[in-house]
Structure 1
Amino acid sequence: MVSALEEAVALMARLRGPDGCPWDREQTFDSIKRHTLEETYEVFDAIERRAWPDLKDELGDLLLQVLFYAQMAQDAGYFNIEDVAANLNAKLIRRHPHIFSDGTVDNADQVNRNWEAVKKQEKAARGVSGGLLEDVPRSMPAMIEAAKIGSKAAKVGFDWPDVSGLFDKLDEEIGELKAELAPGSSERAFDELGDLLFTAVNLSRHLKLDPEFALRAANAKFRARFGAMEALAGGASALEQLSAAELEALWVVAKAKTKTEADSSLRSE
């Protein structure tokens, strides 16, 4: 009996085959990579909404991306899906010596240190050398890239000793940004805003909070509160007729309303 995963692999091969789907056949690694990013964020969204049936569907869409890349690689003679799985299996065994070999660990931090040590050995075996930051892809979303850069630099001791220094640095960057807000200084303000955001990301690392998910949560919270404002006002067009003071008053009411609904939802879980 063919498993569902084997069937999915066969379906993708047929879609990319000579008599397959014209759209699937003309896709390239570059043409579908944006879909991969979209599907990844849809997985995040389903998890954040605790929408488990949606998550099952979104994970299938994400798996489709893996199957698509693997089939294109097989078509080009690079590798196939079996090679992908075999490589993953070997990597998981190699990077978990405390499970599959004679290594021992006391906590999760030690697991992470061992993982990084094994990664260095793997790079050395492949003859890969270079700077500490070279394995942080520039193609990552900027916030994730900033977090990884800060984490890599911290591994050699180039970091703030404690979180208080980061709060001081935030104040410093805010002051520098304010100083560059004079007319004609937009380029310098651009640089200072970047420094402020980079410092905020490093603060999140020290607090052991994920900046990407923190911002996504803030976005979701704002969406909920703004949606409540629209509902209370009677629609978006009604909001446009309100003064700044009236909007602020409505925001306070919407904020209290959505907080009450959120608390009620938490109690029901």
Structure 2
Amino acid sequence: MKYKNINELNEIIQTLRGENGCPWDRKQTPKSIAVYLVEEAHELMHAVENGNSDEICEELGDVLFQVLFIARMFQEKGTFDLEDAARGCAEKMIRRHPHVFGDATVSSAEEVRQQWQQIKRTEKDAGAENASVLDSVPAKLPPLMRAYRISERAARTDFDWDDIQGVMAKAEEEWGEFRAEVRQDEDGNNREKVALEFGDLLFTLTNVARFARIHPDSALTSATHKFEERFRRMEQVARETGRTIYDMPRDEKERLWDAAKALEAVGSEQLSVNRKGPDEDEGGR
């Protein structure tokens, strides 16, 4: 059986949820499926980072399935259906782009952003009692992403550093405070304060990223991927010599790391291991 479009995918979900469907699918709730939606969204983000179109297509389909599944559960309750969700989103997009669908004019992407936020404030009735400009940031976003969004929202009220130099200076200040706490906590009895200072440092670095117009989550993902690739090359070399990474002395690991970095730079050299014994070592990094 070959399925060709979204309507047929909806029919699959309806069958899975039906009387003679799958017991697992039938017992799911919007809350339980939302967890899988988050996971699939992260897998999609990873695929986009890798730039593999086949992988992106597959992961996009997985995200779509979770979205349709959640919509189906609300349709079963008679609350709303997918058409209602699509209609509401379409109306919102038209309303928030008056420079495209109306008579408004803008001259830059920054003006578009400001206009968008102004329209959102009007929609959400931000003047209501106890309302906050931070209310629109989901509480369950991953911590790094949420830190970025919180600082971004606060900055829109003109509560911000003047430029990137100011926030970089603040990051250096936070680094000094963190180092001081680490030095004072040699016995490990004040981990909470050390953790708090480290959190302050991370939050400030998130703002450095914002001023540099990069997303800290994407930057960290790329850096982690780069580390992972280099470390896997080191493990491969260890296996080729009949050892594991655990068997290698520290100085040899350092040489392999440098070789992995060099391989990235040239893009074609073969990673090789220096088979000299410890007594023949010509030096470290």
Structure 2 Cα separation of the partners of residues 188 and 20 of structure 1: 53
Structure 1 Cα separation of the partners of residues 255 and 43 of structure 2: 34
Matched residue, 1:188: 193
Which SS does the other structure have where 1:166 is aligned?
Answer: helix
Supply the AA of the counterpart residue of 1:215. L
Superposition pairs for residues 26-105 of structure 1, below 5 Å? 26-105=27-106
Would the alpha carbon gap of residues 191 and 117 (structure 1) be closer, same or farther in structure 2, given more than 3 Å must change?
Answer: same
230-239 or 27-36, which moves further after superposition?
230-239
122-131 or 100-109, which moves further after superposition?
122-131
Supply the AA of the counterpart residue of 1:240. Y
The alpha-carbon deviation at position 262 of structure 1 amounts to: 8.8
Supply the AA of the counterpart residue of 2:230. R
Deviations 1:91-125 (A, max 9, x none): 11111101111111111111111111111111129
Which SS does the other structure have where 1:180 is aligned?
Answer: helix
Counting matched residue pairs gives 262
Structure 2 Cα separation of the partners of residues 259 and 12 of structure 1: 48
Query: Does the aligned pair in 2 maintain the 1:180–1:186 contact within 8 Å?
Result: no
Structure 2 Cα separation of the partners of residues 109 and 144 of structure 1: 21
Instruction: Find out whether 1:253 has 2:254 as its counterpart.
Output: no
151-160 or 116-125, which moves further after superposition?
116-125
TM norm structure 2 = 0.87
Deviations 1:69-99 (A, max 9, x none): 1011111222111111101110111111011
Deviations 1:188-210 (A, max 9, x none): 00100100000010000000001
Structure 1 Cα separation of the partners of residues 170 and 155 of structure 2: 16
TM norm structure 1 = 0.92
The alpha-carbon deviation at position 234 of structure 1 amounts to: 2.0
The alpha-carbon deviation at position 178 of structure 1 amounts to: 1.1
Q: Please provide the CA RMSD for this pair.
A: 2.1
Query: Does the aligned pair in 2 maintain the 1:40–1:62 contact within 8 Å?
Result: yes
Matched residue, 1:107: 108
Matched residue, 1:267: none
Supply the AA of the counterpart residue of 1:242. M
Unpaired runs of 5+ in structure 2? 270-285
Would the alpha carbon gap of residues 171 and 125 (structure 1) be closer, same or farther in structure 2, given more than 3 Å must change?
Answer: closer
Structure 1 Cα separation of the partners of residues 265 and 45 of structure 2: 22
Matched residue, 1:137: 138
Structure 2 Cα separation of the partners of residues 6 and 222 of structure 1: 42
Query: Does the aligned pair in 2 maintain the 1:143–1:211 contact within 8 Å?
Result: yes
The alpha-carbon deviation at position 238 of structure 1 amounts to: 2.2
Supply the AA of the counterpart residue of 1:17. G
Which SS does the other structure have where 1:102 is aligned?
Answer: coil
Query: Does the aligned pair in 1 maintain the 2:126–2:132 contact within 8 Å?
Result: no
Supply the AA of the counterpart residue of 1:204. A
Supply the AA of the counterpart residue of 1:61. D
Matched residue, 2:218: 213
Compare CA radii of gyration and give the structure with the larger one: 2
Unpaired runs of 5+ in structure 1? 264-269
